[in-house]
């Protein structure tokens, strides 16, 4: 499993790679909260390389969202991997993060494909 890494600190973008699970949540929590504190605005979190996410990983994302709101920052999730989409859909939490998710092959509400 690759550890999460900062792509570019100046842009406030962090990419998580590999597993976002109970086995890695403590280290990832420190990295993500540090990135949020240093972003100066909106933290962009790229989830495109997440291969597995469990309830601890989901709780970590929810903590990050709550902390961002409490500190007056924004959090934007991008590049949701199939593993992330599956969990978000299973527990119906996409709305918590405020980012619209479009599953391939589905049209936006009220629109055409």
Closest CA to 44 of 17, 14, 64: 14
Distance of CA 83 to the CA centre of its chain: 12
Determine whether 79 is exposed, middle or buried from the number of CB atoms within 10 Å of its CB (0-12, 13-18, 19+). Answer: middle
Classified as helix, coil or strand, 4 is coil
Q: What is the pLDDT along the chain (113 residues), one digit of tens a residue?
A: 455 544 344 467 899 999 999 999 999 999 999 999 988 889 999 999 999 999 999 999 999 999 999 999 999 999 999 999 999 989 988 888 876 665 444 444 444 44
Contact call for residues 48 and 81 (beta carbons, < 8 A): yes
Per the structure block, which two tokens stand in for 4? 């999460």
- pLDDT tens digits, residue range 14-27? 999 999 999 999 99
Domain residue ranges in the chain? 5-97
Closest CA to 74 of 12, 4, 15, 26: 12
| CATH superfamily to which 5-97 belongs | STAS domain (3.30.750.24)
Per the structure block, which two tokens stand in for 99? 């980012």
């Amino acid at each position: 499993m690759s550890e999460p890494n900062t792509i570019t600190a100046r842009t406030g973008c962090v990419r998580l790679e590999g597993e976002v699970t109970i086995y890695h949540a403590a280290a990832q929590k420190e990295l993500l909260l540090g990135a949020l504190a240093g972003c100066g605005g909106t933290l962009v979190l790229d989830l495109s390389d997440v291969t597995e996410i469990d309830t601890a990983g989901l709780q970590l994302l929810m903590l990050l969202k709550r902390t961002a709101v409490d500190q007056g920052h924004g959090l934007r999730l991008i590049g949701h991997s199939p593993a992330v989409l599956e969990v978000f859909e299973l527990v119906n939490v996409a709305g918590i993060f405020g980012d619209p998710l479009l599953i391939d092959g589905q049209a936006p509400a009220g629109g055409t494909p």
